[in-house]
Amino acid sequence: MASIQAQITDIFSSAFQKCGFAYSFGIVKESQRPDLGQFQCNGALAVAKSAKKNPRDIAQNILNIVGDDPTFSNLSIEGPGFINISLSDQYIADHCNSIKNDSRLGCKKIDKSQKVIIDFSSPNIAKPMHVGHLRSTFLGDSFQRLFNFLGYNVISDNHIGDWGTPIGMLITELKRRCPDLIYFDEKEADSYPEKPPITISELEEMYPHANKRCTEDESAMEEAIKATESLQRGRKGYIALWQHFVNLSVTALKMDYNELNISFDYWLGESFYEDRMKTLTEKLKNNGNAIISDGALIMPIMEKSDQEEIPPLMLVKSGGGFLYSTSDLATIDYRVEKFNPDKILYVVDQRQHLHFSQVFRAAKKSGIARSDLFMKHIGFGTINGPDGKPFKTRAGGVMKLNDLIALVTKKAEERMKEANIAQDLSKDEQKDITKKVCIAALKYADLMNHRMSDYIFDIDKFCRFEGKTGPYLLYSAVRIKSILRKANEQNIPEGDILPPTKSTRTLMLVLSQLPDVLYNASEVFYPNYICDFAFNLAQEFNRFYNECHILSEGKESLQSSWLSLCKICLREFELVLSLLGIEIPDRM
């Protein structure tokens, strides 16, 4: 079922074609002047110059074709040829009844199932998740949910950083602290302990010390590099230690993701591609795609048509080590071979844009990726504190995810008490609701922003139950659940949706926007479109709720119509909030 906007665009586009113009001139948009109409079509003005005709005459010809269509209650021409469009109330009602009877609320699945790989979150092992991971994690999860709903075959991959010099740093730091561990014996053992020699807390505490020591002491860095080389050559003790580090970290990370209700199909870290990197770089060197320059292996990717210089992609350092670029190129090589995707999306900090531009170009130039493979770096801005700088703890450190959730949970509890929300429920129910409010506050606060924009992390603002916040949306959705529950208890049936009145017309038009919102969000990768829709829906529902006394309405047909509108509102809330990774409580 097409949306209202798509249906009336088709009507006007067909009229433009009958007048000898391109279909695209009939595109209909929401009106910027609601006092003149609900929609507008500006195609007559756009085509007038090339057609060498008066735009008002073109507009009038279009209206002569569509004027008798019962879809419309009023059509008018303003200014130099703008067509203002108002829909008939019966058409709006019929469309809402179609939505009511559609399991997908008017949202068609894509005609052809396409395979999409989404690479997001990607923390490093031995380092706890912190506030800096939130944007990639929330954005990526919203994309996998959205594309799944739209009918794509989605594969999500958490490409964790689990290889390279940082591991060598950890190995040498542990050796400095516990030199007698069996892992450091020169003579390799047949087997190593299954239980790790340290805890996740100790591992997380070790990393900053190891990094600081190697940064400040050149000999310490040399030792870490040697340990890394031994690891990569397959030293059994170091491999066993590395596996302990990975297992500890992944277990902790999965607990964090579970708190956020986020999961992945694959956890293929950098280490997974180690052998492929060796094979791939040799292949690229042998077929002439990569060359030696100052002892390093590089891949020139500059084209004659480039107006700005594009640096070559370095694949192997002069000392023989691989880089992130090597790993990312090998990852594309594997994904193409294993999954044959139609799209690969990388949800990574905007500061990595040049890197991915180089990698994508190298993948296509070398033939690793098909020329028609859609690869996109989906960048994003930073989360800042009130001072406009990256958000940190009061002590100046990066805030851990666990600490952040605890902070937001406490504030959510305070807000719920202030608003007397859920205070009459059991402690277990209150705890569950508080968790849902906390996650809604965090996710909505992040996703409501244009992803390329930085934003200020304001806990007080995010946890409010009024304004453009996650808790406000939850409260609105729970209000609908309460209405429907009471109606069911009173045996009040839902019925056909009647033609709109002043109190319901805007709400019904908002309900019809859902397909366009989701398709547009998927085309430009902006989940803030979904957030805006959810907020507009909440506002319009609450205005309708205040004007129409649903449960006390005496006219049965009107009451049943309103209840059906409530049901559609709830279903759309449930859908769009689930696409944002937000759960709605049953009561508040």
**Which residues are CB-contacts of 411 (< 8 A; sequence separation ≥ 6)?**
441, 459, 460, 463
- 20: phi > 0 → left, psi -120 to 50 → alpha, else beta; which? left
360/114 Cα distance (integer angstroms) = 20
For residue 62, the tally of other CB atoms under 10 A from its CB is: 26
| pLDDT attached to residue 111 | 65
Of the candidates 277, 311, 316, which has an alpha carbon nearest to the alpha carbon of residue 294? 316
Q: What are phi and psi of 119, to 5 degrees?
A: -105, 115
Q: What are phi and psi of 286, to 5 degrees?
A: -70, -35
CA atoms within 13 A on the CB side of 146: 28
| pLDDT attached to residue 149 | 97
pLDDT for 309 beyond 90: no
Average pLDDT over residues 404-422: 94
Average pLDDT over residues 138-158: 97
pLDDT for 58 beyond 90: yes
Looking only at the bridges linking them, the beta strands covering 82-87 and 72-78 are antiparallel
391/396 Cα distance (integer angstroms) = 9
Give yes or no for a contact between 268 and 333, defined as CB atoms under 8 angstroms apart: no
| pLDDT attached to residue 387 | 84
Of the candidates 345, 372, 334, 342, which has an alpha carbon nearest to the alpha carbon of residue 115? 342
Give start and end residues of each alpha helix (H) in 19-114.
Answer: 43-51, 55-66, 89-100
Give start and end residues of each alpha helix (H) in 260-371.
Answer: 274-286, 324-339, 353-365
Q: How many separate helices (H) and strands (E) can be counted in the chain?
A: 20, 13
| pLDDT attached to residue 395 | 61
Q: What are phi and psi of 457, to 5 degrees?
A: -85, 110
| pLDDT attached to residue 391 | 81
Q: Helix-strand-coil percent breakdown of the chain, rounded to 5?
A: 55, 10, 35
The pLDDT mean for the chain works out to 95
pLDDT, one tens digit per residue, over 164-193 is 899 999 999 999 999 999 999 999 999 999
Of the candidates 287, 292, 291, 359, which has an alpha carbon nearest to the alpha carbon of residue 323? 359
| pLDDT attached to residue 394 | 63
The strand pairing partners of 504, in sequence order, are: none
Average pLDDT over residues 546-571: 97
Buried b / exposed e over 444-478, threshold 16 CB at 10 Å, is bbbbbbebeeebebebeebbbbeebbbbbbbbbbb
Laid out side by side, the sheet with 343-347 consists of: 153-157, 115-120, 343-347, 374-378
pLDDT, one tens digit per residue, over 437-490 is 999 999 999 999 999 999 999 999 999 999 999 999 999 999 999 999 999 999
pLDDT, one tens digit per residue, over 511-542 is 999 999 999 999 999 999 999 999 999 999 99
3-class DSSP assignment, residue 105:
coil
Residue 572 — pLDDT band, cuts 50, 70, 90?
very high
For residue 411, the tally of other CB atoms under 10 A from its CB is: 18
81/51 Cα distance (integer angstroms) = 14
pLDDT for 377 beyond 80: yes
pLDDT for 393 beyond 80: no
351/381 Cα distance (integer angstroms) = 9
| pLDDT attached to residue 87 | 97
**In percent, how much of the chain has pLDDT > 70?**
99
pLDDT for 56 beyond 70: yes
| Length in residues, the chain | 588
Average pLDDT over residues 216-243: 95
DSSP, residue by residue, 113-128: --EEEEEE--PBTTS-
453/64 Cα distance (integer angstroms) = 46
pLDDT, one tens digit per residue, over 241-284 is 999 999 999 999 999 999 999 999 999 999 999 999 999 999 99
Give yes or no for a contact between 448 and 458, defined as CB atoms under 8 angstroms apart: no
266/144 Cα distance (integer angstroms) = 13
For residue 50, the tally of other CB atoms under 10 A from its CB is: 9
Residue 396 — pLDDT band, cuts 50, 70, 90?
low
164/239 Cα distance (integer angstroms) = 12
| pLDDT attached to residue 110 | 82
3-class DSSP assignment, residue 266:
strand
65/491 Cα distance (integer angstroms) = 48
pLDDT, one tens digit per residue, over 425-441 is 999 999 999 999 999 99
Give yes or no for a contact between 329 and 393, defined as CB atoms under 8 angstroms apart: no
Laid out side by side, the sheet with 291-293 consists of: 291-293, 296-299, 313-316
